[in-house]
Structure 1
């Protein structure tokens, strides 16, 4: 029996995370297999569901109250692509966030792996509510990106 595999570049960036999750979705027919295109579609502010955009606006209004910096437009920019994964890294004063978007063409799956390392009380306070909604937010963003990329593939 072979050893189980559970690997992602997100765990190379943050080997011992305080928080981690993995969201997987089937690939629609004909969509791109480029993980960077998937990452861009998932984290595109214009492509995010309205309620997710509203949550980000609320985040931006509240974080200064605990001394956490506001987000920047390039926070979710792909830092590098290695093999099947596009990696986004966002080190900050309150936490270190990493997300790896992987595409598995053989299994016809797209996977979003998130790892987070918290820094101090601000990181713990900030992330307490975030960890509750994070899986739902990522599932929603991935579902939306899947529909967008599927529409683009059909239009070609």
Structure 2
């Protein structure tokens, strides 16, 4: 068993009160600092406070100590043995220090996983969180963190996978596109804050290769006919999910033979393309800090002057 001790610090040219106000909005719908959608959001079973249980991605924890505007401690829940803590320290002259401390007990293969994969991802996420605090409180970031080749590879490997669902009732275009389709499927992924809600932004799922033939109420319908197969695909977006749906039918023996082979790989290809596009758009979307700056009035010093940021 080995104790992992990991510390990140950054001095920011903004008052502690401004940074602390952002800390208090962690996990809220308008969270301006957790690096979403580049990474999975922080979520709890209740508003931020002692006793709130949740986490981000596969990492789970409970809020065990909370001093509004100054400090939050999260204790790991099984299988995570340890804690992490965020603090804001005033330095005077309108400056403050943001600090994150992680202490975890790792043994065996988990110690190796920390060294190879968990640590570079953790370090990047924390520095992105610091970037967002600096960005919102000062209006810019002096030295923004970059994703290394290893982090990009790890991010691709651990990215969430699509969920298999029934074609949603709201997907009226795809549900009425073909009479008695011989095949249908649907896969969806969460629409985190910052991801586009316009279905046209998601046509890259199919590499923009097929014509759009209809659009209605958050749904975009495409013609994907090929080799004797009549097929339609739709992209449906709402506040919570993006859903890729497909229906197909065949009219000839040649089409039936072709589809008999294609339908075996179609689910894999559909899920892969949706997941790839979801990851790509998440990586290129504005950061939480950039979204906060674009949505709230800023003082001459750069930090939030709305009531929630005082």
For the criterion TM > 0.5, the same-fold answer is yes
Query: Which is higher, the Rg of structure 1 or of structure 2?
Result: 2
Secondary structure of the 1:154 match is coil
Instruction: Tell me which moved more, 84-93 or 124-133.
Output: 84-93
Q: Is the 8 A contact 1:35 1:103 kept in 2?
A: yes
Look up the match of 2:174: 10
Look up the match of 2:38: none
- Cα distance per residue 1:78-119 (max 9 Å; x no partner): 2221111010024456121101100011xx111111000111
Q: Which ranges of 4 or more aligned residues in structure 1 deviate by more than 3 Å? A: 90-93
Q: Is the 8 A contact 1:36 1:78 kept in 2?
A: no
Look up the match of 1:110: 242
Secondary structure of the 1:142 match is helix
Query: In 2, distance between residues paired with 1:80 and 1:145?
Result: 21
Q: Is the 8 A contact 1:94 1:120 kept in 2?
A: yes
Secondary structure of the 1:32 match is coil
- Cα distance per residue 1:22-54 (max 9 Å; x no partner): 11111233110001111x220117xxxxxxxxx
After superposition, residues 11-30 of structure 1 pair within 5 angstroms as 11-30=175-194
The answer to whether the aligner puts 1:86 opposite 2:223 as a matched pair is no
What is the root-mean-square deviation in Å for CA atoms of aligned residues?
A: 1.9
- The 1:120–1:88 alpha-carbon spacing in structure 2 relative to 1, beyond 3 Å, is same
Secondary structure of the 2:262 match is helix
> Of 241, 249, 255, which aligns to 1:123?
255
Q: Is the 8 A contact 1:42 1:141 kept in 2?
A: yes
- Cα distance per residue 1:43-81 (max 9 Å; x no partner): 117xxxxxxxxxxxxxxxxxxxxxxxxxxxx4x122221
Query: In 2, distance between residues paired with 1:25 and 1:15?
Result: 27
Q: Is the 8 A contact 1:41 1:149 kept in 2?
A: no
Look up the match of 1:44: 207
The answer to whether the aligner puts 1:154 opposite 2:289 as a matched pair is no
Unaligned runs of 5+ in 2: 1-167, 291-310
* TM-score for the superposition, normalised by structure 1: 0.69
Q: Is the 8 A contact 2:227 2:258 kept in 1?
A: no
Return the structure number with greater relative CO, CA threshold 8 A, min gap 6: 1
Structure number having the greater helix percentage = 1
Query: In 2, distance between residues paired with 1:123 and 1:36?
Result: 29
Structure number having the greater strand percentage = 2
* TM-score for the superposition, normalised by structure 2: 0.36
Secondary structure of the 2:176 match is helix
Query: In 1, distance between residues paired with 2:178 and 2:270?
Result: 19
